[in-house]
Structure 1
């Protein structure tokens, strides 16, 4: 394996943290960036091999310029840039404070645009490089109670697709997007919330480590887009081909699957600044648990049918 220089924005938790650990395990040299310095230091200690730690807010273009300068000063180049930095807010659009909505768009869309601009400047200068933008299934479908997040991810999808057109003149520059479905990360419990109940990833839920493995594979073998989530394609097909059914089901499913029964007072979460992260949270149903529940349901139904059948 060759040792690459990998910059990760959003490296302090979730998919960014898991990706940092995965790249570190294969011997890559890391530059870790996020708003929270303390969390970054913990990730750096877990990674080993003395990563460069640069606390950075991606909404600040000057801070991103400084991040790039420090990365190039230490390592001389940037081979891969993974951007997974994001914040979230729950609540109906009408209930979200306008400043929370605006800040989310600033972070999740304009911040990611800042990252892409900074990475591309370096890739153009050196003639090669791979940008991996961690997007979401919610860049392909709409869901109630998280309007700002959906709006930002749809916008980011359009930006990344456009950048893929505009870099066709540079065959060694790759722009990739990865769309995870539900992933067990702290973004749900760290979110701003005006919905009355703590958010959670709807089942089935994948681990951040599973998504990180796909991030590393994209770095090894770049492609325009990839998806992680056993139900992603089914949900996309329902959204595209059966909109009346999708529209009838999505709100009750979000109420019961995407919002827990754990009450919460209105809060702006970590939208405006880094705050301590809470790992886990209510109702994380993994693929295996969902599969087991479905299997048990099928077996139970089969047993009930057999009991009703006449016996000779």
Structure 2
């Protein structure tokens, strides 16, 4: 597989660049001397990221973008071409989350989550692929998350989008086999320490926190840079990501019930909070940093106790099912 060995001077488009993993990715690509096109709905936050990237020696262009709108994404691609006359890497990253009982949450919320998380990525690919084909090369990076394999109870719209993303991307990879220098690269990180859950639409009435362990978003950002340098079809970020994938593949019913049990137990004891649509429909003016303050950034060894515990639970559950089946 051919590689982009040198990123300096490459044009990188990043959606959802105003906070979290997108902001972290912008900073990592800036260190490589890339030309960055920063896209999100929050112009003030994007200008902050632009200044940070320029302080690292990169050039940056801010394009206010709503990824759920196809015309907005076409405008983003055109702006990048007008600025640098090419797009080398397009990072589909922007996403939103809404939590709550499926039937109690308004369908408009579910629809917007799917428009942003699924159609937003499709809009991005639809906008950039004509340029990739004209250039004869390009890299499309999709930040899907382990949610593409593992259901998120009380986040049915989010799960529908993530499962859909994985299927769509596989179809796209098959379709593009006649273009050997155009790569579609899917990333499946485990839970990240970003402000995303602070921004989430919350119809549970309870304070939301990510399930441990959570990983440093800089780790995902560094993986994006590596994938841009050497494209790979599927990349799992964090040991827990692979563990959860295989756990659901081997024990799908057990894992599904377990996630529901864990969520219900947490919600029963969590602190109350007012209902909110968060950033599902419009941007917010808080929590625009790379980190959300939930985890232990830079200390991956701290996750080993969770991995070991999950393995023990998986082995015990597997043994139980085995003996029940054959007793």
TM-score by length of 2: 0.85
For residues 218-238 of structure 1, what are the alpha-carbon distances to aligned partners after superposition, in whole Å with 9 as ceiling and x for unaligned?
Answer: 101101111112212222222
Structure 2, unpaired ranges of 5+: 1-5, 309-327
Name which of 164, 173, 176 aligns with 1:155: 164
TM-score by length of 1: 0.89
Aligned to 1:28: 34
Matched ranges for 1:269-308 at <5 A: 269-278=278-287, 283-284=294-295, 287-291=300-304
1:224 aligns with 2:229: no
Alignment partner of 1:141: what SS?
A: coil
Aligned to 2:221: 212
Paired residues, what number?
A: 295
1:120 aligns with 2:129: yes
Which range is displaced more, 272-281 or 159-168?
A: 272-281
Quick check: which has more Rg, 1 or 2? 1
Alignment partner of 2:71: what SS?
A: helix
User: Per the alignment, do residues 99 and 24 of structure 1 end up closer, same or farther by CA in structure 2, a change over 3 Å counting?
Assistant: same
User: Per the alignment, do residues 260 and 273 of structure 1 end up closer, same or farther by CA in structure 2, a change over 3 Å counting?
Assistant: farther
User: Per the alignment, do residues 260 and 157 of structure 1 end up closer, same or farther by CA in structure 2, a change over 3 Å counting?
Assistant: farther
Deviation (angstroms), 1:201: 1.8
8 Å Cα contact 1:22/1:216 also seen in 2: yes
1:6 aligns with 2:15: no
Distance across 2 between alignment mates of 1:13 and 1:281: 10
Structure 1, unpaired ranges of 5+: 296-312
Higher normalized contact order (CA 8 Å, seq sep 6+, divided by chain length): 2
Distance across 2 between alignment mates of 1:8 and 1:103: 20
Aligned to 2:75: 66
Alignment partner of 2:164: what SS?
A: helix
Alignment partner of 1:65: what SS?
A: helix
Matched ranges for 1:69-218 at <5 A: 69-218=78-227
Distance across 2 between alignment mates of 1:258 and 1:211: 28
Which range is displaced more, 30-39 or 46-55?
A: 46-55
Alignment partner of 2:154: what SS?
A: coil
Alignment partner of 1:96: what SS?
A: coil
Distance across 1 between alignment mates of 2:15 and 2:77: 11
8 Å Cα contact 1:139/1:154 also seen in 2: yes
Deviation (angstroms), 1:143: 2.3
User: Per the alignment, do residues 243 and 64 of structure 1 end up closer, same or farther by CA in structure 2, a change over 3 Å counting?
Assistant: closer
Distance across 1 between alignment mates of 2:235 and 2:268: 27
User: Per the alignment, do residues 189 and 90 of structure 1 end up closer, same or farther by CA in structure 2, a change over 3 Å counting?
Assistant: same
Distance across 2 between alignment mates of 1:118 and 1:259: 44
Alignment partner of 1:23: what SS?
A: helix
